[in-house]
Structure 1
Amino acid sequence: MWEGRAACRPAEPKGSAAGEAPADGSGRVRPGAPERAGSGPAHTRASRRRGAERDSGPLCSVCVNRFGCRPVMLVGGLFASVGMVIASFCTSIVQIYLTAGVITGLGLALNFQPSLIMLNRYFDKRRPLANGLSAAGSPVFLCALSPLGQILQHEYGWRGGFLILGGMLLNCCVCGALMRPLEPPKKSDATKELDEKKVKKKLLDFSVFKDSGFVIYTLAASIMVLGLFVPPVFVVSYAKDLGYQDTKAAFLLTILGFIDIFARPICGVVAGLKWVRPRCVYLFSFAMIFNGFTDLMGSMSVDYSGLVVFCIFFGISYGMVGALQFEVLMAIVGTQKFSSAIGLVLLAEAMAVLIGPPSAGKLLDATGRYMFVFIIAGIEVTTSALVLALGNFFCIKKKSEPPHTKEEAAEREELNKSEDKTPEDAKVDSIEVEQFLKDEPEKNGEVVTNPETCV
C-alpha cells in the first residue's frame, strides 16, 4: 500500500513527458522544445515538488494526528492527481510550477507521511524489513516510468503525459482506502477515566527537540538532502551531453531503479539482525558514506559504460539510504512521537531540497562540467554521514531509552495499579457473608434462594 506514493517520483529526474514542458523566453510553454541542461526548468520543478512535499510536513503531521492516516491519504491522492491533470492544460511555466509542483507535491506529502506512520504503528520486531520492502515501491516505479515517460512524450506529447500520470496517481486513493486503522484493545471504565484525565494528544509535539539524538539526526538529514537527489536528476542529461540518445540515457534510471529494488529489502533484512539493529545509526552513516563516495567516483565517468557502473553502485547505496532513513528516526523518537518528528524533519529538509538541484544546475551553467556537480554532491552526503556518526558517538554517551518510554512506563504502571485495585463497593467481607447465611430463614431444610446469595 506504500507504492502509490512513489508512482510519480521517477518522473522527476528525467525531463520528458513527466519531466517538464519547456518554455520560451516569455514563459509560454513550447511543446516539443528540447530540455535545457544545467539550471533548466526540469531540475527546478523537481526540487520545488520535493520542497512542497517537505514544506507541508508539519501540516501533514497535524492532519494525521487530528483526522487519522486514511482520510489524509485519500485527500492527498486527489490533490496529486488534480495537480497533474490541471498541469496538462497550462500555458506558462509558472502555472506548471503551481500545479505539477506545488499541488501535486502537497498531495504526495499527504500520502508519503501517513504511509510511514502506519508502517511504524503496525510493525515493531520486523520493522526494518517492513521499511525496506515498502521503500522498494519507489524504485519499482522509477524502473517502469523512466522508459514510459519517453513513450508518452513521443506518442502523446507532454500534455498527454501529464494527463495520463494524473490518472495513475488516483491509485493513491486506493492505497489510502487500504490503510485500516488498528483497533485498540477494549479498556475498563477505570482505565478510560484515567486516560481522559491523563493525556491530551498534541497535534504537533515539539518536545522531540529535547532529544539530542533527534537534533543530530535532523541536522545530518538536512545536509544529506543537499546532494542526495542531485545525481538522479542530472545523470540523464549527463548521458545526453556525452552524445547518447534520449532512450539510452533514460535507461540509466531503469538500471538504477532495478538495483534499488533489491538493495532496499536486503538492507532491511540486515538492519533487523540482533547485533545490527541497536547500531542501526552507524549502518545508516555507512550507507551515506558509500553514497557520497559513489558520487565522487561517478564524477570521473567519461562514457556510457562508466555511467552504467555508477548507476549500479549508486542504486545500491541509494537503496540503503532509503531503507534506513526513517527506520533510524523511528528508533530515535519511538512510536508515539514519530508522527510529529517526521513532519519537523521534513520541514528542516525543505530548504535544503530547494537549494540542492537548482544550485547544482547553476554550478553546471558556470563551469560547463558535470564533474563538479557530482563532486559537490558527494562531499555533502559524506559530510552528513560524519555529522551523524560522530555526533551520535560523542554527544550521546549512553544509549538511553526514547524520551517517551519512561513516561509510557509510568502510565502503564499507574494503569496496572488502577486495574488491579478493586473498587470499594465490590469488596466482600467473608465474616459478613457467613453471618448473613446463618440469619437466612430456612425452608424444608434448604437455604432460601436469594439474589444476594446467588453466585
Structure 2
Amino acid sequence: MGGVAVDVDTGGVKAPDGGWGWAVLAGCFVITGFSYAFPKAVSVFFKELIREFGVGYSDTAWISSILLAMLYGTGPLCSVLVNRFGCRPVMMVGGLFASLGMILASFSTCIIHIYLSTGVITGLGLALNFQPSLIMLNRYFSEKRPLANGLSAAGSPVALCCLSPLGQFLQYQYGWRGGFLILGGLLLNCCVCGALMKPLVSPKAVKAKDLEQDKQEATEGSGKKKPKAKLLDFSVFRDCGFLIYTVAASIMVLGLFVPPVFVVSYAKELGNEDTKSALLLTILGFIDIFARPTCGLIAGLTWVRPHCVYLFSFAMIFNGVTDLVGSQANDYASLVVFCIFFGISYGMVGALQFEVLMAIVGTEKFSSAIGLVLLMEAIAVLVGPPGAGRLLDATKNYMYVFLLAGSEVVLSAVVLATCNFLFIRKKRSTRSPADKLENITVTDESKTEVCSRPAENNDEEEKGEREELEKETTKVVLKDEKEEGQENVEEPGPSHFEERIGRRCFLSGPIHCGTELESAAPGIISAPRAWTANRDG
C-alpha cells in the first residue's frame, strides 16, 4: 500500500516527467485551486445570504457541502466520460458548466436556487475539471510524481489566498449578486486549462494500432469477438489496500473541510470585523502554499516514498489534533495560531492523499479508482459541514464543532495506519524494479520460458497474471514439441504470450527481455528485432 508504482501510460507511453508535462502541471495548479478553494471562498458570502434569505448557519453550509458533494460524488461519471472521450473535451465542457452555475446563482431569489446553481451546476463543472486534471498529471509524471502532486495541490491555498479577499471586496463593491457574476466569468479560465491537456500519444502506438486493425480485418469471420474496454473498472475493490484507503479517506472527509468553512464565522462571532475575519483564510492559505510542495519533496525522497502511507497517517493525526486544540481558541490571536498549524497539516494531507492512491492502484486503473474513491467520499461530504452547522445551531458554541471535526480526522488516521500495519504486508525494499528481478534461465531441453519478474509481489491480481502466464507457457511448450521434426515451418510473429512477456519486462524495468530470451531459446522466442526494440521502449 505504501509502495511505489513505476507506471507506463495505458497506451504504452512512458511518463515523460517533464516537457509538456510542466504545462499540464500549470493547468492542474489552476484547476485544483478553483476546485478546492471555491467551497471555502463562498463562505465569505454566508452572512449576507443569511440576511437576504432569512436562513440559518446549517442552511448556508449546504452550499459548500453540495459543491464538494458534486466534486466527489460525480467521480464515476467523470471516469466514464474520460475513458470515453478523453480528458481535454471533458474539461472544456466542465469549465462552461462551472461558469454557468455561478452566473445563474447571481439571479437567485431563494436559497434553493443557489443550491441548484452554485451547488449542483458549478459543482459538476468543477468535477469535470478536477478529476481529469489529476489523471493527466499522473500520466505525465512518474519519478517526479510526488513533487508534481505537491505543486499541483499548492493551487488550492494560492487560490484561497486570492479568492477569499477578492470575494470580500466584490461583496462590498457590487453585493453578493455582482460578486457571484464576476466569479462566474473567472471560472471560464477552466476551459483554457482544459485546452492544455494534450494527450500522450506515441507514434509507435499509432502504428501498432493500425497493424492491429489490419489483422482484425484479415481475420474477420473467425468468430472471435474483441472484448470491449471497461469504462469503469470495479476490480480495484479486490485490492485490500484500496479498500482501506477508501474507508479511511471517507472518515477523514467528515471533518477535514469543517474548520475552513466555519473559521471566518467563528472570528466574526468573537466580534472581529469582516475584513479581519476573512484574513484568517488568507493566512491559512499562505501557509498551505509552502506546506504542499515541501511535503511533496519529502514524500519523493528515496527512503520516504515507499512508506508515504505512514506519512499520510501522520499528516491526518496532525490535522485532527490541531482541530482539537483550536476548539479552545477565544480571541483573534489564538485563531491566527490555529490557522498557521492547520495550514501546515492541511497542506500535508492535500499533497499526499492522491499520491498514496496513485501508488496503490497505478496509472492504468487510476481513472476508475479516483472516481470510485470520490463517490464514497461524497456521502461524507454531504454529512460533514451540514452536520457541523446543525450542531452549531443547537449548541451556539463553535468549540463543539471543532472538537467533532478533529475527532473524525484522528479516527481516520488511526484506521489507515492500523489497518495498513495489520493487514497489508510490508512492501519490497526501495531498490529499483530492475534490481529486484529474479532471473530464471531458459533451458533448451525442457523448452520452458520464464521472463524475469519482480521477486516479491503480494497483489492478488498479479498472482492471477502469473498463473495465466504459466498456462500459456505450457501451451507454447506443447505446441513446440508437436512441431519438432517438421521442416520448412514459417517463422511466426510475436504471439499473444510473447506480447504479454514483453509487456511484463517493459513494466519491470529497462531490461532487454526480448533479446535475452531470443539468445537463450531461439527455438521458442522468435520475435523480430523491430518488435523487441519496441518492447525495450
- TM-score tier, shorter chain, comes to 0.7 to 0.9
Q: TM-score, normalised by structure 1?
A: 0.85
Q: 1:89 is paired with a residue of what secondary structure?
A: coil
Alignment partner, residue 355 of structure 1: 383
Q: 2:201 is paired with a residue of what secondary structure?
A: coil
Larger radius of gyration: 1
Choose 167-176 or 410-419, whichever is displaced more.
410-419
Q: Is the 8 A contact 1:13 1:233 kept in 2?
A: yes
Alignment of 1:104-123 (within 5 A): 104-123=122-141
Alignment of 1:19-418 (within 5 A): 22=49, 29-30=52-53, 36=56, 38-41=57-60, 43-187=61-205, 192-193=211-212, 200-399=228-427, 400=457, 412-414=500-502
How big is each residue's C-alpha offset from its partner over 1:48-92, in whole Å with a ceiling of 9 and x where there is no partner?
110011111000000011111101100110000011111111212
Instruction: Give the CA deviation at 1:96.
Output: 1.0
Are residues 1:13 and 2:40 paired? yes
Q: TM-score, normalised by structure 2?
A: 0.73
Instruction: Give the CA deviation at 1:412.
Output: 4.2
Q: Is the 8 A contact 2:318 2:345 kept in 1?
A: yes
Q: Distance in 1 between matches of 2:259 and 2:527?
A: 64
- The AA in structure 1 aligned to 2:298 is V
Q: Distance in 1 between matches of 2:349 and 2:209?
A: 45
RMSD between superposed Cα atoms in Å:
2.5
Q: Distance in 1 between matches of 2:50 and 2:380?
A: 26
The structure-2 alpha-carbon separation of the partners of 1:407 and 1:166, relative to structure 1 and needing over 3 Å to count, comes to: farther
The structure-2 alpha-carbon separation of the partners of 1:422 and 1:45, relative to structure 1 and needing over 3 Å to count, comes to: closer
Q: Distance in 2 between matches of 1:198 and 1:401?
A: 30
The structure-2 alpha-carbon separation of the partners of 1:258 and 1:199, relative to structure 1 and needing over 3 Å to count, comes to: farther
Alignment partner, residue 449 of structure 1: none
- The AA in structure 1 aligned to 2:501 is E
Identity of aligned residues (%): 67
Q: Distance in 2 between matches of 1:402 and 1:193?
A: 30
Q: 2:314 is paired with a residue of what secondary structure?
A: helix
Q: Is the 8 A contact 1:294 1:314 kept in 2?
A: yes
The partner residue of 2:526 within 414, 418, 421 is 421
- The AA in structure 2 aligned to 1:74 is M
How big is each residue's C-alpha offset from its partner over 1:423-448, in whole Å with a ceiling of 9 and x where there is no partner?
8xxxxxxxxxxxxxxxxxxxxxxxxx
The structure-2 alpha-carbon separation of the partners of 1:75 and 1:403, relative to structure 1 and needing over 3 Å to count, comes to: farther
Q: Distance in 1 between matches of 2:187 and 2:87?
A: 18
Are residues 1:3 and 2:29 paired? yes
Q: 2:198 is paired with a residue of what secondary structure?
A: coil
Q: Is the 8 A contact 2:40 2:160 kept in 1?
A: no
Q: How many residues align?
A: 414
Q: Distance in 2 between matches of 1:286 and 1:207?
A: 29
Structure 1: gaps (5+ residues): 424-455
Q: Is the 8 A contact 1:11 1:149 kept in 2?
A: no
Q: Distance in 1 between matches of 2:29 and 2:260?
A: 19
How big is each residue's C-alpha offset from its partner over 1:363-405, in whole Å with a ceiling of 9 and x where there is no partner?
1111111111111111100000011111111011243466666
Q: Distance in 2 between matches of 1:148 and 1:335?
A: 37
